[in-house]
Structure 1
């Protein structure tokens, strides 16, 4: 291989890589503001190399013009450096510099500023003449200015951006070493520019050093570039070996082909393979999977939207919507707690001890392309299910922690309040003994009310420790009834004698007292006032009902009926029903307000049967 041919191969590789990188960087410019300027630098590098190729192919005027356009390379790089380091500059600075650069180029073309002469290894090579030296000086000044901007950026920034600037300086030093050989013929030195054979590495190292810390995709691009470069070197080695063996095998015609041509043809075939790989792969995928229209941006959009869901129903609905829009036919997604559907196409995601898995139901008759999209979407959906599950678990754990912390704080506060309040109340009670009977009666009534408020607060905020036994409900009810003031209110007890529940007798008595107190407060002084206690048994459940014919509860108040400190009862603490709910939940039961049982007001207490409760 001649030295001239080796130089041409280097220029072709540099130019091809520069064009590919310029196009890719322009696409990245939508997300990185500085990338278009760097793309301009790569494009000018391609044109500069094309100028040398034109000179080798006996096109001196075109070649000299392209080489003399070299000031645009550092100009684009200076533009990039200003944007990359976020340096503020006057709005007129860049237009002025670009105008001056174009003027220098124009003067160099008209003068002219370059010529072609014979030198070591070349029949013709570019040399600077006359005003061309000013062109070179201007190019060097722009390069120094760009690196000065980067130096200032290195001092101001940190992290990945600072690493990128260091990488640029290292690549710049390598490029300077390679570029010095370009001016050998212009200085009258008849030396072959061996360093320029490595020029393709300069552009790759520079661009990779700039963006490897800023654009993640360039790392994947560099990985592919290194793979293709390794394949190219392997093909060149194989061609050299084949050329040596052909003569030994008697194939004189093939052995007579110059090795440089074999290498050139092999390199071109490999480059064509690299260029055609993606289109051919896309064509093959469309033939095998007709209807497949997935893209990286679509997958990223799906992943982002699915990750934003906060509950299973929302995730199920959104997943169904996204895949239905993509396939243009109705698809449903079945998730835990999100319901089921009978639609033809369904993705069912479930969780077992081995983690999340999916099943495509009704996809047997769809095209392979549609099924592949369903498989890929299901994989994204599993990741979203796992993420949502973890988020809900963390939210539940955090809510429980806060609730527990709140109860501990409230319990401590309530105990302190009880201690601080009951002492002055006892003093007031003792002091009331010396007052008149009427005044003493009023004082004692208010003291009982204050004591009840304190007791309710302690009951709601304190820790519930249950001591459960089989409780005969009817006997307990009559015990509670005997403690109430039933003046003017009728009470009916319709409970079977053998009815029992597994509960804490003291806490169940507290539940009944609170419900009866509430009922009496609203029924008393009302004509025909009546309270009725009933029950119902079914399999492993027992229900107790406390009815009264007092005024119905407003619909607006029913939603907050069991919330603490919500009460319409005069003198009430607002904790009675909240205490009832807390005690019932501690027993594994529930309390509900009912309006469909034939009474204006009904409260339903749900218990497990004694056998079931003991088992739990």
Structure 2
């Protein structure tokens, strides 16, 4: 009798689960025809199980009709498999054509069902504790063969889908194959009596698992809530197994330890009573939990809706100030009192605060001045602080990405601007040459003035070409003193005291033409400021220092504006002297960078203005990319 009750209970659970799953799938399906077909499969599974129950309770006609409708189950499954597999990039025209002819398959299935009912393709045998169980007779061979054929076709479509798809769809199909193997094992015991094998269908006791596992395998990679449900279902199943084990142990040892009344109760009744208690506990658990939270943390009202609202509002902040302001508003609205959020500050004022800081392990938050608040408010601050710290980390990453993108666009703009400047400089050379030639017939004073302005324009064009173009360095040994002498011979140093303090034999590996440009720009720049002074003086000193050559150009001209930083000083057009292009110092730094050297302004060496150049004696060793005599292109 116990097996009969267990079988009936299993069939009841499967039937109810089939109806519930079908309703849920139809509610979720919306425009998804594949889930509607799967819902049809669940309905037919529920009706098939209900047919067994009808036979159990002597409803012979109803039970036979429902069980002989067996072919409709694989029909719905075949329809589902076609729609589920034939999606996206893996869509195949011939599968679409088969799906389009599914109405004919449904019509054939209904015809087989009607034929089976008409000829009486089924009967019953006394198998389960003398209660009737369905078997196919000779006329039922068509029904059974057609059902098996549709099942093979449905799983054949899944095999094709597994080969064509990738990612979550491929994993879903693989999960369905595992479930199909499980379903085949359960269904095998159903057909044994039809072949004269009168064995109790033990596998059918696990029928509820087949339908749930099939649906879970299909939708687990599409709907997150399904995985939450599966987590809860697995927990419930584990608890049921624990209860079963505990009851079995109590039943075995209750007699020897003196619990005679418990020993006389059947094990299945103890298990059933325990499951009822477990079910009641699961139902009342949410209310009991909320009650205990209200009791322990009075005033704390936290739920998924509040956390989702906090998350949504904080995500809208695009700056640190906006994030801080938004966080304070959310807390004040929830707690009905002002709460300050302090970002990365050591000193805090009085009042309830949430300090948010970053250390080596990341962002974290902690409430301050919270000793006198209720446990509920403290819990709210802890939860909000944890969420706020997460948003700080996300905002930090977002701002870093935005800054990187801005720098990329700036660099791209500079490249485009450099190309445009180089093109303009080349185009300006032609009209300047024409003006120079046309000025030869002008009066001497006019021609001199024109030539001076043309020289100035040519110098500006040259500076633009140097700054915007590509630097090509030709390394070779360079003696500093002769190079400096050639530079001074090209410059007008009248009325200026020039002093050279050079160690003998100073030499380095560099591009002599580019190094000459550096010296010309720095000395010419100094001359522009001291030439009109009665005591104008320029001193050039150079010496070795470790593996570098240090060259300093001093002048006693007016000191530079202290508000101009080192970085700003060498930007183009920032420190523009009268008559200059504004590119001199920028070109110097570019050449120095190309040689892996450094340049900076100093005012701590006893002179109002000093520019210090540090050049490696062998820049190719510094860069580890060149040998002496090779050419290096610097973009």
Normalising by the smaller structure, the TM-score range is 0.5 to 0.7
Q: 1:400 to 1:378 in 2, by over 3 A?
A: same
2:385 to 378, 382, 392: 378
Moved more, 144-153 or 277-286: 277-286
Q: Does 1:175 align with 2:189?
A: no
Q: 1:159 to 1:447 in 2, by over 3 A?
A: same
Q: How does 1:537-576 map to 2 (within 5 A)?
A: none
Alpha-carbon separation, structure 2, partners of 1:609 and 1:331:
52
Alpha-carbon separation, structure 1, partners of 2:66 and 2:289:
37
* Conserved 8 A contact 1:75-1:98: yes
Q: Does 1:11 align with 2:18?
A: no
- Equivalent residue, structure 1, for 2:262: 254
Alpha-carbon separation, structure 2, partners of 1:345 and 1:24:
47
- Equivalent residue, structure 2, for 1:81: 81
- Equivalent residue, structure 1, for 2:303: 294
Q: 1:580 to 1:223 in 2, by over 3 A?
A: same
Q: 1:581 to 1:288 in 2, by over 3 A?
A: farther
Question: 1:194-238: CA deviations, max 9, x gaps?
Answer: 332333443344334333444455445444433332332232232
* Conserved 8 A contact 2:175-2:217: yes
Secondary structure of 2:238's partner? Answer: helix
Q: 1:312 to 1:200 in 2, by over 3 A?
A: same
Matched residues, number? 509
* Conserved 8 A contact 1:542-1:609: no
Instruction: Name structure 1 gaps, 5 residues minimum.
Output: 468-474, 484-502, 513-540, 544-562, 584-606
Offset at residue 119 of structure 1 (A): 1.9
Q: How does 1:520-539 map to 2 (within 5 A)?
A: none
Q: What is the TM-score when the length of structure 2 is the normalising length?
A: 0.60
Question: 1:38-80: CA deviations, max 9, x gaps?
Answer: 4554454345434434544556566556545555543443443
* Conserved 8 A contact 2:530-2:557: no
Q: What is the TM-score when the length of structure 1 is the normalising length?
A: 0.62
- Equivalent residue, structure 2, for 1:536: none
Offset at residue 382 of structure 1 (A): 0.9
Question: 1:158-215: CA deviations, max 9, x gaps?
Answer: 2331232133123213312321221333444422213323334433443343334444
Q: 1:145 to 1:565 in 2, by over 3 A?
A: farther
Q: Does 1:313 align with 2:321?
A: yes
Alpha-carbon separation, structure 1, partners of 2:17 and 2:432:
91
- Equivalent residue, structure 2, for 1:243: 251
Alpha-carbon separation, structure 2, partners of 1:175 and 1:151:
17
Alpha-carbon separation, structure 1, partners of 2:323 and 2:267:
63
2:396 to 389, 394, 399: 389
- Equivalent residue, structure 1, for 2:484: none
Alpha-carbon separation, structure 1, partners of 2:376 and 2:104:
54
Moved more, 196-205 or 365-374: 365-374
Offset at residue 384 of structure 1 (A): 1.6
Alpha-carbon separation, structure 1, partners of 2:114 and 2:374:
61
Moved more, 367-376 or 430-439: 430-439
- Equivalent residue, structure 1, for 2:192: 184
Offset at residue 450 of structure 1 (A): 0.8
Question: 1:300-347: CA deviations, max 9, x gaps?
Answer: 56546644643213333444555566x384766636499x99998754
Q: 1:200 to 1:316 in 2, by over 3 A?
A: same
Moved more, 409-418 or 179-188: 409-418
* Conserved 8 A contact 2:300-2:380: no
* Conserved 8 A contact 1:23-1:39: yes
- Equivalent residue, structure 1, for 2:486: none
* Conserved 8 A contact 1:120-1:190: no
Alpha-carbon separation, structure 2, partners of 1:370 and 1:48:
56
Alpha-carbon separation, structure 1, partners of 2:103 and 2:296:
52
Alpha-carbon separation, structure 1, partners of 2:313 and 2:53:
51
* Conserved 8 A contact 1:292-1:370: no
Alpha-carbon separation, structure 1, partners of 2:166 and 2:176:
15
Question: 1:408-443: CA deviations, max 9, x gaps?
Answer: 997899899989989997998699668642552353
Moved more, 503-512 or 429-438: 503-512
Q: Does 1:453 align with 2:460?
A: yes
1:349 to 352, 356, 360: 356
- Equivalent residue, structure 2, for 1:125: 133
Offset at residue 388 of structure 1 (A): 1.8
Alpha-carbon separation, structure 2, partners of 1:507 and 1:14:
99
Aligned alpha-carbon RMSD (Å): 5.8
Instruction: Name structure 2 gaps, 5 residues minimum.
Output: 472-514, 519-525, 535-551, 565-570, 589-600, 611-635
* Conserved 8 A contact 1:11-1:53: yes
Alpha-carbon separation, structure 2, partners of 1:183 and 1:368:
63
Alpha-carbon separation, structure 1, partners of 2:104 and 2:287:
43
Q: 1:478 to 1:156 in 2, by over 3 A?
A: closer
1:232 to 237, 240, 244: 240
* Conserved 8 A contact 1:312-1:335: no
* Conserved 8 A contact 1:51-1:65: yes
